[in-house]
Chains A and B, each alone.
Chain A
């Protein structure tokens, strides 16, 4: 390290840098002396590096790998293009000069050669006095990331930039005004394009024009390799001018350089974009030099650039203003400036001794922390526009962020703040989320999307203006209902030199909104008071007839807006529909709106309930509180009540539909009078349940008689009974008694060596069931109750996700608690996004995380109670590794899902819930959903995500439709009170069949409204095999001697008879 610092000194001639690098030199001597001792143990040196300069050693190792893969192989690249570059260069240099001629003549000359001059809008009129000419360029250089080696090798193409410096002789002093420079430039570019056409053709390139960095003022020449598969990069030929050709003072951000023809004064509107666009042509060589010296000064500079480029690319930021106006060049230029200053009191933010990670983090910190709409000047201060970010580089006269818009800047800061949080988090290393994950998927990133297929996408200057207007209107109209508005568009696509430049981009503009969940549903907006004349007038002008003067309870009279909460459309949509029509004459069918459909879908399938605070859930809550009071007040029961715990999805606001029995768990104060025998404990429980039932009946809490129900009758060690309490409010409770001694007894039982394997299995299962029913379910319920209040969108997201699982027929295999945990992680560990603020993002991010979960190799760890420390995580990982080594074939456990309140991780997934086949299907469905999302984010039908295909199944059992129509009361007279109804029957049927054919059939069924049961034959059982006493399925002798095959027809016949009255028919698929 240290010798690099000394080398660097020689290479950095500028005096101000010398002072900056002086202190490191002194320290380097000290380290020099120590170095030999360190060299002895290279490993510990590496370790020290890793722990000191990086987030964690693992983070560093991953980053090294990443950089290794992304560092371009410069020599190889160069060898590929060197020849082409030389030929093109000489072709350009060999072009003959063209004498000045008028615009029509010049244009005609090129048109005759089959070339259309790429004039920027507005094109020069026929009678302009200045003339067009071409002369041999002053010089031609390779510039940009290719030459500076700051580029990154990634999936996107990395063009090689060739800067052609136009001779100053072509320009006049006043050419910076009224597009004159740009017109001359366009002509120059056209001449070059014509001149190199032949050379490019022989080299295998297509010659096209394209806007430079999305800026239609500055067309450039694009040489695209003709064969798509050829690995050669694109070559961009851009222009440059001598930095001193036009004085910096003429292109200061607030100068006005586009003037009306009538008055030649400088009093027009400021033209910051125009000015900066011109200035960037003048600054090409200057930036090239300054960045070059930065790479020489700081050895980790280029690595830091690679990291920055990767980070930006994953977040969709690129240099063109349409893509945020902050790309690799801006990042690199900003870094080189931050070595000089930018910190408080002009201190440099970065030091040359920083590691690439330190540079990256400090820059992210700078972006997140320093509000650049308060301008940052390097060098002399100049007047700048307000409301946009400014990093004004005085020496080169350019605001390097001139392509950034207010929205792209807020988005960038938003992303930087999230990334900073991730880097500072000690709990997880977050490497994947910072660099690997693609974050810019609009449906995952934003809560609502608006797209305009036809508007706001003209040439650069116009688009900029229009989009600014749109942003202003949207910001004002949506106010605090949204946290962020982001507009993304596309630059005009490159066009062949022979055709005219397209007027508009082929793709439309899309707007992403981040909602503020608290305010988004507000019905009445308060405007200014009637007395405030000016504000009122502006309010009325903005809102038109929608604004009404209203008198409120506190006596104030305010301008207000009232939206409908009963209409089918969401309030956001109502606002947009109105305001877009009013200000832009855009009708409802000229823009698309994505996001509300997810709420609609949930309402449609979830009994019209959206929020956890809806009356349906609240009434269950109330009933529970009442029940708790009554149970605490019981006199007849001899034991003290310790705790009545909710243990049902209905009591944690996560049931898709609030129907069915509601489980609660009752725990008494411990007593020594309980027997020490399983059967006796169960009998005692029944006695208690009967007593409690009597008590509740007499107190009037129960509407009718309570009943003791039996369950798990095949086992003596699992809970056998529950009390069904029909509460007077109509809620049906199921109460079970939790007796903690059972656990001790079961554990002791498991230690008993005389146990037969079968008994041991039963005891293990009983312990599992005990923990699930009496420990984990109440814990989960408690945790989710508080999380649902903390994150109001958690409950609807969980319910929509449950609907997804059940519409893909997973209900019989995936427990609802598992689904809940999968969704909770999206909310409590939202990185690399913020916590979801809509059902759409919550749901889609859950699918996304599911699609990325490599469940065979990784545990799923959820922060449920806020206590997920690194130790806990470590503990969970150890358990996971242990499970995989006990059960490597994943026969009993496929998914491992743990949380800080349940570190065992198997509570909801053991005993094939789901089996590995089902887990794989779940994973592939999630992947398919994410692919669908990527391919068509704006025009995706929500129903597509919930549509399941029955094609992959071997047979499909269609249930009788009568079972689902209305109440079943009149039909089943023999049923005294049809409480749980038919739904329970179908579930029992599925359970029965699955239990009988556990080895041969896998059944798929949805929730209680699903009219089909789909089945798969176990592929292992379909093969014919030699006869064996312990065949776990019905067989028939096959043709070969001693061989038998599975008797599918007989099995289906058995199923049909078992389900007669439930089944309409059984369809066998080929």
Chain B
């Protein structure tokens, strides 16, 4: 493409030619929109990151590395954050900082410590290659700021000159799993992990899970034993019922009370009189509602007449 489309709204537009297949031979150009990453709340990594919008759906970290490292030959990519997984990574990051703080304080492993471990125990993935949503964005974190800057420059230059960059071209095929039928065949296989792996994951998870809850209990206990700033010690009784069970119980009690209250309704004459009046009014109200309904039907379907 020509130089006129090099920039949109402050984003550098980098055209990338998608590899064609015999089943769809039309030449297709994809556009990446690139600019320095400027999040609302800057983090230490943001100065050396690029923000890319509209990554192709088959983008992998290897693709991005290859694009900036080999095809543009500008900078080394440290890692890539894709749109979907972003929130989780951030959560991990916060626990990491907590971890370092708490390590200084205690020798013993804390509940958070276990929790972190627990979060990392996941079931094996059933896909060997995940897809991005169309139009999704990604944050590319480079090794350092200069690499980021030179990458952006290289991208702008390539866009201006109209250099043909083919997406994933000459990317070693063993680095990324193939798309197409093979991916689905692999999914069929991966969907059923072998028994051993599953059992191991489950056991590890459950052990850690127990450890977390025990550690939590211990910490709670300890906290309760410590007098607060006014010098009081909170007294607590035995094991707490978990709240879900309590909710059920509460509901039952409310229900029982309601049942008791019933049966005292027709006691006084004024009660039954009011009831009758209420019923009468209800009928009138219904009648008005019916009228409204009919008017509405007429407005929608026109006159009521046989088909």
Please report A residues at the B interface, Cβ cutoff 8 Å.
43-44, 46-47, 50-51, 57-58, 61-62, 65-66, 69-70, 154-155, 310, 313-314, 435-438, 672, 675-677, 679-680, 682-684, 686-687, 690, 707-711, 713, 720-721, 724, 741, 744-745, 748, 758, 854, 857, 972, 974-976, 978, 980, 984-985, 988-989, 992, 995-1000, 1026-1027, 1029-1037, 1042, 1044, 1047, 1049-1066
The 8 A CB mask of B234-260 against A (1 = contact, 0 = none) is 000000001111011000000000000
B244's partner among A58, A709, A748 (CB-CB below 8 A) is A748
Q: How far is the CA of A724 from the CA of B192 in the complex (A)?
A: 9
Note all chain A residues with C-beta closer than 8 A to B244. 676, 741, 744-745, 748
B57 touching A976 by the CB < 8 A rule? no
Closest chain A CB from B33 CB (angstroms) = 8
- Considering the complex, give the chain A residue whose CB is closest to the CB of B16: A1050
Note all chain B residues with C-beta closer than 8 A to A1033. 134-135
Note all chain B residues with C-beta closer than 8 A to A711. 126, 191
Q: How far is the CA of A708 from the CA of B9 in the complex (A)?
A: 50
B306 touching A436 by the CB < 8 A rule? yes
B209 touching A1032 by the CB < 8 A rule? no
Q: How far is the CA of A996 from the CA of B19 in the complex (A)?
A: 19
- Considering the complex, give the chain A residue whose CB is closest to the CB of B304: A65
A1053 touching B198 by the CB < 8 A rule? no
* Chain B interface, number of residues (Cβ within 8 angstroms): 80
Which residues, 107 to 136 on B, are CB-close (under 8 Å) to A?
118, 123-127, 131-135
Note all chain B residues with C-beta closer than 8 A to A1065. 23-24
A437 touching B202 by the CB < 8 A rule? no
B293 touching A1044 by the CB < 8 A rule? no
16 contacts between A and B (CB under 8 A): A57-B287, A58-B294, A62-B294, A154-B306, A310-B306, A438-B307, A672-B245, A709-B192, A710-B193, A713-B125, A975-B185, A995-B131, A1044-B8, A1049-B28, A1058-B180, A1060-B21
A997 touching B134 by the CB < 8 A rule? yes
Note all chain B residues with C-beta closer than 8 A to A66. 304-306
A1056's partner among B11, B23, B33, B286 (CB-CB below 8 A) is B23
Note all chain B residues with C-beta closer than 8 A to A724. 192
- Considering the complex, give the chain A residue whose CB is closest to the CB of B56: A1054
B202 touching A985 by the CB < 8 A rule? no
Q: How far is the CA of A46 from the CA of B122 in the complex (A)?
A: 69
Closest chain B CB from A706 CB (angstroms) = 9
Which residues, 277 to 307 on B, are CB-close (under 8 Å) to A?
283-284, 286-287, 290-291, 293-294, 298, 300-301, 303-307
A1032 touching B133 by the CB < 8 A rule? yes
Note all chain B residues with C-beta closer than 8 A to A679. 118, 205, 209
B275 at the interface (CB under 8 A from A): no
A1037 touching B31 by the CB < 8 A rule? yes
B58 at the interface (CB under 8 A from A): yes
A996 touching B306 by the CB < 8 A rule? no
Q: How far is the CA of A163 from the CA of B306 in the complex (A)?
A: 30
B143 at the interface (CB under 8 A from A): no
Closest chain B CB from A1064 CB (angstroms) = 6
Which residues, 175 to 206 on B, are CB-close (under 8 Å) to A?
179-185, 187-189, 191-193, 195, 198-199, 201-202, 205-206
A61's partner among B33, B58, B182, B291 (CB-CB below 8 A) is B291
Note all chain B residues with C-beta closer than 8 A to A1059. 180-181
B248 touching A744 by the CB < 8 A rule? yes
B156 at the interface (CB under 8 A from A): no
B134 touching A1000 by the CB < 8 A rule? yes
Q: How far is the CA of A1056 from the CA of B188 in the complex (A)?
A: 20
Note all chain B residues with C-beta closer than 8 A to A1058. 57-58, 131, 179-180, 183
B11 touching A1027 by the CB < 8 A rule? yes
- Extra contacts, 18 of them, besides A978-B188, A1065-B23 (Cβ < 8 A), are A47-B284, A676-B242, A690-B202, A708-B193, A711-B191, A976-B189, A984-B188, A999-B135, A1034-B31, A1036-B29, A1042-B9, A1057-B179, A1058-B131, A1058-B180, A1061-B181, A1062-B184, A1065-B24, A1066-B23
- Considering the complex, give the chain B residue whose CB is closest to the CB of A1044: B8
Closest chain B CB from A324 CB (angstroms) = 17
Q: How far is the CA of A43 from the CA of B180 in the complex (A)?
A: 71
B199 touching A1034 by the CB < 8 A rule? no
B20 at the interface (CB under 8 A from A): yes
B185's partner among A985, A1037, A1044 (CB-CB below 8 A) is A985
Which residues, 8 to 51 on B, are CB-close (under 8 Å) to A?
8-9, 11, 13, 18-21, 23-24, 26-31, 33
A314 touching B307 by the CB < 8 A rule? yes
A975 touching B188 by the CB < 8 A rule? yes
Q: How far is the CA of A690 from the CA of B245 in the complex (A)?
A: 28
Note all chain B residues with C-beta closer than 8 A to A310. 306
Note all chain B residues with C-beta closer than 8 A to A1026. 9
Note all chain A residues with C-beta closer than 8 A to B195. 690, 708
A992 touching B180 by the CB < 8 A rule? no
A1029 touching B137 by the CB < 8 A rule? yes
A683 touching B24 by the CB < 8 A rule? no
Closest chain A CB from B182 CB (angstroms) = 7
- Considering the complex, give the chain A residue whose CB is closest to the CB of B242: A676
B305 touching A1054 by the CB < 8 A rule? no
B54 at the interface (CB under 8 A from A): yes
B307 touching A707 by the CB < 8 A rule? no
Note all chain B residues with C-beta closer than 8 A to A1037. 1, 5, 8, 13, 31
- Considering the complex, give the chain A residue whose CB is closest to the CB of B124: A710
The 6 A-B pairs of least Cβ separation, nearest first, read A1061-B181, A1060-B180, A1056-B24, A1053-B28, A58-B290, A1037-B5
Q: How far is the CA of A1054 from the CA of B305 in the complex (A)?
A: 53
- Considering the complex, give the chain B residue whose CB is closest to the CB of A1064: B23
B98 at the interface (CB under 8 A from A): no
Given contact pairs A710-B123, A995-B133, A1060-B180, A857 touches B206 in the complex (Cβ within 8 A): no
- Considering the complex, give the chain B residue whose CB is closest to the CB of A1061: B181
B18 touching A857 by the CB < 8 A rule? no
B53 at the interface (CB under 8 A from A): yes
B87 at the interface (CB under 8 A from A): yes
Closest chain A CB from B95 CB (angstroms) = 15
Note all chain B residues with C-beta closer than 8 A to A857. 300
Q: How far is the CA of A978 from the CA of B187 in the complex (A)?
A: 12
- Considering the complex, give the chain A residue whose CB is closest to the CB of B119: A679
A744 touching B30 by the CB < 8 A rule? no
Note all chain B residues with C-beta closer than 8 A to A154. 305-306
A748's partner among B21, B243, B293, B300 (CB-CB below 8 A) is B243
Given contact pairs A744-B247, A974-B185, A975-B189, A1057 touches B205 in the complex (Cβ within 8 A): no
Note all chain A residues with C-beta closer than 8 A to B137. 1029
Note all chain B residues with C-beta closer than 8 A to A683. 201-202, 205-206, 209
B23 touching A1060 by the CB < 8 A rule? yes
Q: How far is the CA of A687 from the CA of B195 in the complex (A)?
A: 10
- Considering the complex, give the chain A residue whose CB is closest to the CB of B289: A58
A980's partner among B188, B242, B300 (CB-CB below 8 A) is B188
Note all chain B residues with C-beta closer than 8 A to A676. 242, 244
A680 touching B205 by the CB < 8 A rule? yes
B53 touching A677 by the CB < 8 A rule? no
Q: How far is the CA of A1036 from the CA of B13 in the complex (A)?
A: 9
B298 touching A687 by the CB < 8 A rule? no
Given contact pairs A1044-B8, A1056-B23, A684 touches B206 in the complex (Cβ within 8 A): yes
Closest chain B CB from A956 CB (angstroms) = 12
Q: How far is the CA of A1035 from the CA of B9 in the complex (A)?
A: 14
Note all chain A residues with C-beta closer than 8 A to B307. 314, 436-438
Q: How far is the CA of A54 from the CA of B249 in the complex (A)?
A: 49
Given contact pairs A66-B305, A1031-B54, A1054-B56, A686 touches B198 in the complex (Cβ within 8 A): yes
B54 touching A62 by the CB < 8 A rule? no
B305 touching A70 by the CB < 8 A rule? yes
Q: How far is the CA of A88 from the CA of B300 in the complex (A)?
A: 45
Note all chain B residues with C-beta closer than 8 A to A1035. 31, 54, 135
Given contact pairs A58-B290, A313-B306, A996 touches B182 in the complex (Cβ within 8 A): no
Closest chain A CB from B287 CB (angstroms) = 5
